[in-house]
Amino acid sequence: MKILVVGGAGYIGSHTCLDLHAKGFTPVVFDNLENGHEEFVRWGPFERGDILDTDRVHEVIARYQPEAIVHFAALIEVGQSVQAPLAFYRNNVAGTISLLSAARRAGVRRMVFSSTCATYGLPQHLPLTEGHPQRPLSPYGRTKLMVEDILRDMSGADDFRSVSLRYFNAAGADPEGRIGEWHEPETHAIPLALEVALGRRRDFKIFGDDYDTRDGTCVRDYVHVMDLADAHSRAVQYLLDDGASISINLGTGTGTTVKELLDKIEAVTRRKLNVVEAARRPGDAPVLVADNELAREVLGWSPRYDLSEIVGTAWNWHSRSNM
């Protein structure tokens, strides 16, 4: 059974292909390689193309006749979205409309969509449940919320169905070290700290140590990319079993401060990190932790990797790769 994985050459997309393949699906990757890596396409055919090119997407869907689409293709860097909002609205919103038009024309009516906890904005209560108001703090978060809204509206119009998965902090890598996190430029805490451990970067800057948290640094819910991948395969199966449209959090429910994360990284790598205090990063919520009951109930999902394994698999990848 074929699944079209749009943006399947990226970080979470490539790990999802690995998992889909292990569960008996054939992942067909569609990616423009602007941020993806062709060497990450290892578990099925590759078609290069851009989601804004509706005819090209339609051609690929018509050729492979996938049962469902898993849609990762997006610009993801929050800071860039503030600097270049139009590029984000074009790629993330107009691009998705183009993809949906092609899918509709080709008769594919099932989609799993990469959404984010960034759609919630500043938490009014914790842990964050799916019913929490969605008031994103950045253009990036707004593009993701807009697509969630579009998908909801489409489900009301005909038998189109979708699952929007709201990720918390994706981290870690394939335990066998074949693929991993590779962003350019890198902005995420774990890869940046590992680069410091490897001597490829001088220091790790803690963005704010005066938050109202247990040690003053921000709390995040780090979830292993293989657990996210597993949730995507489950969401595909849920849609193939005629599940209704839904939005679901993907997080562990456990919060980790930046300082706790750095302690864990020092323990796993057995290296001392050069850490410096820096100013708060605009738009950072002090605490983001998921309520994951819905994922457990609806998808039968539960996270299998803890923070040590997240850092361990990321370290295994980073220390062996030259990214």
Where in 279-308 is the site for ligand UDP (CB under 6 A)? 281, 284
Q: Is the bond into 185 cis (omega within 30 degrees of 0)?
A: yes
What is the spatial distance between Cα 191 and Cα 318, in angstroms, rounded to a whole number? 8
Q: Which of 189, 197, 231, 290 touches ligand UDP by CB under 6 A?
A: 189
Q: Pick the binder of ligand UDP from 21, 42, 105, 188 (CB under 6 A).
A: 188
187 is a contact residue toward ligand UDP (CB under 6 A)? yes
Segment contacting ligand UDP by CB under 6 A, of 79-87, 182-190, 225-233, 269-277 = 182-190
3-state DSSP call for residue 76? coil
Buried b (16+ CB within 10 A) or exposed e, 1-31: ebbbbbbbbbbbbbbbbbbbbeeebbbbbbb
Q: Can residue 207 be called a binding residue for ligand UDP (CB under 6 A)? A: yes
Which range of residues in 2-10, 65-73, 187-195, 293-301 is near ligand UDP by CB under 6 A? 187-195
For residue 169, state whether it binds ligand UDP (rule: CB under 6 A): yes
Q: Does 115 engage in binding with ligand UDP (CB under 6 A)?
A: no
Q: Which residue of this chain has its Cβ atom nearest to ligand UDP in the complex?
A: 218
Nearest distance from C-beta of residue 178 to ligand UDP, angstroms:
23
Considering only CA atoms, which of 41, 56, 57 is closest in space to residue 9? 41
Q: How far is CA 28 from CA 2, 134, 159, 165, 318, in A?
A: 7, 32, 23, 20, 26
Out of 11, 64, 120, 140, the active site residue is 140
Contacting residue, 97, 126, 192, 275, with ligand UDP by CB under 6 A? 192
Length of the chain: 323
Query: Which residue of 258, 290, 295, 314 would you call a contact of ligand UDP, by CB under 6 A?
Result: 258
Task: Tell me which DSSP letter residue 128 carries.
Answer: B
Using the minimum distance from each CB to ligand UDP, give the nearer residue, 81 or 316.
Answer: 81
Contacts of 25 (CB under 8 A, 6+ apart): 1, 2, 3, 233, 236
In the bound state with ligand UDP, the residue whose beta carbon lies nearer, of 67 and 195, is: 195
Nearest approach in angstroms of CB 92 to ligand UDP is 16
8-16, 204-212, 247-255, 314-322 -> range binding ligand UDP (CB under 6 A): 204-212
DSSP string covering 154-212, please?
Answer: HHHHSS-EEEEEEE-EEE---TTSSS----SS---HHHHHHHHHTTSSS-EEEE-S-SS
Q: What does each C-alpha distance from 91 to 49, 76, 165 come to in angstroms?
A: 13, 10, 19
Q: How near is the Cβ of 84 to ligand UDP at its closest, in Å?
A: 18
Amino acid at 115: S
Applying CB under 6 A, the span of 123-131, 183-191, 290-298, 303-311 interacting with ligand UDP comes to 183-191
Verify whether residue 140 is a known catalytic residue: yes
Tell me if 218 contacts ligand UDP by CB under 6 A: yes
- Cα(15)–Cα(226) distance, rounded to whole angstroms? 6
- Catalytically active residues are 140
Binding site for ligand UDP (CB under 6 A): 169, 187-189, 192, 205-207, 218, 220, 258, 281, 284
